[in-house]
Structure 1
């Protein structure tokens, strides 16, 4: 049987465009239903805009100086701030100027990428801390609106079919390009696709810009599939092999694989996918006595040494099957029963015995059909994962391929249970890792808030940014508990640029400080608070805009520090200063991934004294998942303070 993929690729030099290739493929009677193979069949090739994407700008050094000092001011005493100004100005006029010149020269010599891309990959891959909690974030799907489709087998089969259809569309470059439409009614149209499609790739971005549409970088999307992060001493590596057609499935700590594509690269029929999953769910193999996946919860150097040992005793080939799988599919026996705390702990960390945190992402489905994604962060950011997440969710609830009454087929059932060779030494690794991970997870405090007194629409009605209101709530909650202000991190995407990653937006400003102090003073004026809140919102929106346009200061300062290292120059004093360290100790680490498909999202604290806050402004409420370490903070106490802050803010707005 010929595959659509092979026909498209083999005829690429003969036919003028993808549409002609599709027409040829459709005429071939040997190909399975082409409409089934692909989630999308875009008229615009997936990477049509990639060549013409603008490059991430290197900020002006003086602009970075000003933005850095503005972020420091609300955190420091007047004496500390005066010292910071002197130190910063000394840096800008001396080594900073030389480093800036070298950074610009390096950027000009590497026009295929961004100035931050390699440094950011290395930052992740060199860090030796464990992946779960520290780095791997989670996204949890809303439940299916049809209860019978939340059956574990049915939901898993539908998510798997849609995930592979997404992958095949991406592989064959017919997945709809990722574009941010400022005016969707004018730009998200057939006319937009026709005009930009007629333009050569080197000019296509400019055509989109005329429609007030902004194509986004899609270079990370390939990292979603057939990839894993392999532990290595000192620095990990990302390994991928896109020739493999199997998924790896974990259940009860055991590993299974089966092909989801046939030998010609065609997606198996829904009944065949169902049959393979049924075989795994009906397998009565007991829980693994030595669940190998728990080793991925450890310090990276420790895990690297253990993996070397595992390969030396005959596990190289079986580990490679996990590494090369399209993705990791996790079938858990946990029952959630709408317990939000259980959702967060299950998807963020679990007990580690039925996980493989190194895979690019793991699609997790519980016994009662709650589903979500836990993803490794070094290969990419939330933009690629959220697009994948939204697309497969939308398809599974609007046009699922597997119904509750579909019968499994006996064809193409290729399930294999992976067998590992474990000696006493490797068993001791697993036992030790289980205990340490259990102790670590027990040290974590997790709570959440769903506040219905404010909504996304209400914030807009009062002409304040919903994101600002949530960030203002976080500042007020922390100030209420601790009477001070700390380094706060809000992640902002720079995917509007070629190989853009993220920039830090600093939501703790002079205005948010003034608001919190006034709010917690005696007899605060509601009118005055509302005026300050409006200023907070305007300033917040401007900072978000600057960050998304590559005009923050954090990535720039980080790159200048790396340039000094690259050139064996002395480390500038500014990077070891009190103020720089205080600012970059992210006590409040925050990120939002708002979408109708998202039930919950979250991540762990990035420092032991801090909070990890994943949040969303929903149409009917504000929501946040909060994590911290019990020895230092209580997430429940923070959530209680946050609730009070939201009540106060709602009261001020309504007045």
Structure 2
């Protein structure tokens, strides 16, 4: 089963009416083939004519919306969620906010933004939001994206695939750091902008003007400021607020197997990739190591509450483990070698999203997980970035390992002394640390036991038919979720769809609000009023939903949503020690930010599955993909919701939608 999806906060690029639409929910990117110079040395994936960060200096700044636009959009998003009395209450609160304290906060935010022209108004508050969160990163923040299997099945051997992925990862890192990685650009007219001629020209345009040169030919460079956190980076737990740590001097890889941790160098003293045959030898040594799983697996501590983990980390350091922790934190990335084989796509989802808690270090910027049967995935910590860099990395790694693998079936590992090169990390423990690990494992097991994942494939239509009907495929998928929830629970609820603002300097994400007055009316017509509307009336409602969703998407991509603006003003009020205005303390504000439907989409030739947990206990985590002739969903829930029934309701909703599009009345 192949379902292409995503998780929150990852970049997706689409074209709609000539505008760059950066939809991220979790992972969506319209991938492109990054050309490789076939004469590139072993050390690099390719050698871009245009320096990697050439456009960074001249990227436009993320706009702060007008306050009146934010309040209008906020009220429009609240309307389908509230009854008349509730809506009148928030209308009055919004009016008071706009003419009073909100006006002052907005002006202060604009003034701050003018002083800090090197960044965006949302970047600082967004980092703080993630790093100050005290919940476990597992299920609450870290998503996963699994790789497709190598088309050449012989290369899916765990050792072969692990070696090739490590080598390709180093090549990507070196290409990036040498400034040779092709810049991330969305091309509306590739025939003009994605050409050698244009690249040779634009490279000579000063970086302070280069964005404008790309814009003149309908090309939109994207922010790449998050890329430097990809490697040698870790989230360090601190009481009250974590820190991001990066040490680019680290030359070693962190490997986990059976809960044991190992390190060895994958870059030599000259900065070159260690010979692939030597890397293969070292990984073979680890895979054959008879050392049993530790009684107290340290990795499970990274699944703890962040304050609890911060305290235990201090105990670890006091016990004499500082140097070993530094080796973990400064490792280029983490490779998790699992001894399990995967039964099906649901088994893959559970293993790659959370696993057993023992063979993971969830705080690393990213980990590549490889099972016994060659299934591979990336699990990444979310505070440092929104996944745009991770997906680019994954696309490049898949392309490189499948087209230009450096080791092959039958390749002989180098005859080197792996026992000396590979170091297993032994930690000094005491009873307090051991008890902390036991409690962390108990909490982890309890949390993941509550999570259910199920998947659905709708095979009766997809992108092709929707486009023929002049409907947005994403809008129709989102409508199906609204109809499905209404069918299951009889109500319209707060829904989140993330949109990347990477078209701007230090852009993060904006929220699309798919639950609208249009989707509410349409859902009720399909679900609650069968037979009361003609086929033509239902088709007209579908068109209205699609048109309005497209408008919301374009606004969000251009930084013209309302969620981030309101969030930034709220953070500003708190930082000044002011009491929160009534707009923020009203139950309606809490309700719209209690996202029962958290949704995300992805299609990529590298990615098979993607997933994340619900963001609230009574919610669904919905990863989905709309393909040419089918639609797939990978959905998670906790016991408060029945994910199996929900997917049946979504399937029924899609059947009804495509029946109407075929010109047939609902049965």
Task: State the TM-score bracket (shorter-chain normalisation).
Answer: over 0.9
**Secondary structure in 1 aligned to 2:622?**
strand
Deviations 1:376-421 (A, max 9, x none): 0000012111111111111111221111111111248421111111
Q: In terms of mean alpha carbon deviation, does 286-295 or 66-75 score higher?
A: 286-295
Q: Do structure 1's residue 152 and structure 2's residue 158 form an aligned pair? A: yes
Task: Tell me by how many angstroms 1:593 deviates.
Answer: 2.6
Corresponding residue for residue 16 of structure 1:
none
Aligned match of 2:658: 650
Q: Which residue of structure 1 lines up, in the alignment, with residue 489 of structure 2?
A: 482
Partner of 1:374: 379
Moved more, 50-59 or 636-645: 636-645
SS of the equivalent of 1:156 reads: helix
Using the size of structure 2 for normalisation, the TM-score is 0.92
Paired residue secondary structure (1:35): coil
Task: State the match for 2:649 in structure 1.
Answer: 641
CA distance, structure 2, for counterparts of residue 195 and residue 496 of structure 1? 22
Measure how far apart 1:625 and its partner are: 1.4
Alpha-carbon displacement from aligned partner over 1:221-244 (angstroms, at most 9, x marks no partner): 011100000110000000110001
Matches of 1:450 and 1:280, distance apart in 2: 39
What CA distance in whole angstroms lies between the structure 2 residues aligned with 1:501 and 1:575?
22
Between Structure 1 and Structure 2, the one with more helix by share is 1
Q: Tell whether the 8 Å contact from 2:254 to 2:262 is kept in structure 1 after alignment.
A: yes
Paired residue for 2:575?
A: 566
Distance 1:154 1:452 in 2: 35
Displacement, 1:567? 2.2
Q: Where do residues 460-471 of structure 1 align in structure 2 (5 Å cutoff)?
A: 460-471=467-478
Q: How does 1:170-209 map to 2 (within 5 A)?
A: 170-209=176-215
Q: Distance in 1 between matches of 2:136 and 2:662?
A: 45
Distance 1:608 1:304 in 2: 25
- 2:370 alignment counterpart: 365
Corresponding residue for residue 29 of structure 1? none
Alpha-carbon distance, 1:620 to partner = 4.2
**Contact 1:195–1:207 (8 Å) recurs in 2:** no
Q: Distance in 2 between matches of 1:365 and 1:526?
A: 50
Residues 613-652 of structure 1: pairs in structure 2 closer than 5 A: 613-630=622-639, 632-652=640-660
1:258 aligns with 2:264: yes
2:264 match: secondary structure: strand
SS in 2 for 1:220: helix
Contact 1:272/1:412 (<8 A) preserved? no
**2: distance between equivalents of 1:34 and 1:80?**
63
Separation of aligned partners in 2, 1:159 and 1:622: 30
Matched, 1:169 2:188: no
User: Are 2:390 and 1:385 aligned?
Assistant: yes
Looking at structure 1, the residues matched to 201 and 318 of structure 2 have their Cα atoms a distance apart, in angstroms, of 57
Residue 137 and residue 507 in structure 1: after superposition, are their counterparts in 2 closer, same or farther (change >3 A)?
Answer: same
| Counterpart for residue 73 of structure 1 | 79
RMSD, matched Cα: 1.3
Give unpaired runs (5+ residues) of structure 2: 1-36
Native 8 Å contact 2:281 2:414 kept in 1 = yes
State the Cα distance separating 1:564 from its structure 2 match: 1.2
Deviations 1:4-63 (A, max 9, x none): xxxxxxxxxxxxxxxxxxxxxx9xxxxxx9611001210111000000000000100000
Aligned counterparts of 1:389 and 1:593: Cα–Cα separation in 2: 13
Query: What is aligned with 1:346?
Result: 351
Secondary structure of the structure 2 residue equivalent to 1:248: strand
Counterpart-to-counterpart distance in 2, 1:417 and 1:620: 49
Deviations 1:279-337 (A, max 9, x none): 11111111222111011111100111111111111111111111000000000011114
**Please, which moves more after superposition, 190-199 or 52-61?**
190-199
Give the corresponding residue for 2:110.
104
Q: Does 1:496 align with 2:497?
A: no
Contact 2:134 2:306 in 1 (8 A): yes
Q: Which residue of 1 aligns with 2:455?
A: 448
Structure 2 residue corresponding to 1:279, chosen from 274, 280, 285:
285
SS of 1:36 mapped into structure 2:
coil
Greater shift in the superposed pair: 611-620 or 636-645: 611-620
Aligned residues: 622
Contact 2:312/2:436, CA 8 A, preserved across alignment: yes
> Which structure 1 segments of 5+ residues have no match?
1-25, 27-32
Check the 8 A contact 1:192/1:211 in 2, yes or no: no
**Residues in 2 aligned to 1:412 and 1:469: alpha-carbon distance in whole angstroms:** 58
Contact 1:382 1:593 in 2 (8 A): no
**How far apart are residue 617 of structure 1 and its match?**
1.9
* Alignment partner of 1:231 is 2:245: no
Contact 1:492–1:548 (8 Å) recurs in 2: yes
Is the CA contact 1:167–1:225 (under 8 Å) kept in the aligned structure 2?
yes
Written as runs of structure 1 = structure 2, the 5 A alignment for 1:506-655 is 506-520=513-527, 521-523=529-531, 524-630=533-639, 632-655=640-663
| Whole-Å separation in 1 of the counterparts to 2:81 and 2:160 | 52
| SS of structure 1 residue aligned to 2:57 | helix
| 1:320-369 per-position Cα deviation (integer Å, ceiling 9, x unaligned) | 111000000000011114x0110110001111010110000010011000
Q: CA deviation at 1:100?
A: 0.8
Contact 2:40 2:47 in 1 (8 A): no
TM-score, scaled relative to structure 1:
0.93
